[in-house]
């Protein structure tokens, strides 16, 4: 009987070791290519607001219009590398057409190869931005 208990303990230890060894940090494969810093950064804006909105990017002390997102729809934009500047720190702004209100995001740092999703809610204060 005792031999069976030791045998099952060894199997459990082996299984635990096999599972834990797969949980280590991910190493880049030799054939993986690093993201190109000169590639545009994708921006998706989902406008759940009742009004169309004009989207702007604040970068390096400047403001650049990105485009317009129709009410109750989504739009995809590609942000040129110069829009992110050398620091890759930006703020997004949306101005609903016909409304005195607007919304600005906090400072966003976008690393090379990431993309941005911005969801504009009907109550602009509850809008959210994510960087992946």
Q: What is the pTM of this model?
A: 0.75
Which residue segments constitute the domains of the chain, with CATH numbers given?
A: 41-131 (2.60.40.2890)
Query: What digits encode the pLDDT tens for the residues 20-34?
Result: 555 555 555 567 788
Exposed / middle / buried, residue 71 (Cβ in 10 Å: 0-12, 13-18, 19+): middle
Query: What digits encode the pLDDT tens for the residues 85-123?
Result: 899 999 999 999 999 999 999 999 999 999 999 999 999
Give residue for tokens 């834990």: 20
Neighbours of 118 (CB within 10 A): 23
């Amino acid at each position: 009987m005792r031999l069976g208990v030791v045998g099952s303990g060894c199997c459990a230890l082996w299984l635990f070791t096999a599972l834990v060894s797969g949980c280590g940090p991910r190493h880049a494969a030799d054939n993986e290519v690093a993201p190109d810093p000169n590639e545009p950064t994708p921006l998706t804006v989902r406008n759940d607001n009742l009004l169309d909105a004009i989207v702007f990017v604040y970068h390096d002390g400047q403001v650049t219009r990105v485009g317009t997102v129709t009410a109750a729809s989504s739009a995809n934009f590609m942000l040129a590398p110069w829009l992110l500047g050398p620091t890759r720190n930006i703020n997004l702004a949306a101005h609903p057409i016909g409304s005195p209100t607007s919304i600005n995001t906090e400072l966003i740092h976008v690393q090379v190869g990431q993309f941005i999703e911005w969801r504009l809610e009907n109550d602009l204060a509850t809008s959210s931005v994510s960087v992946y």
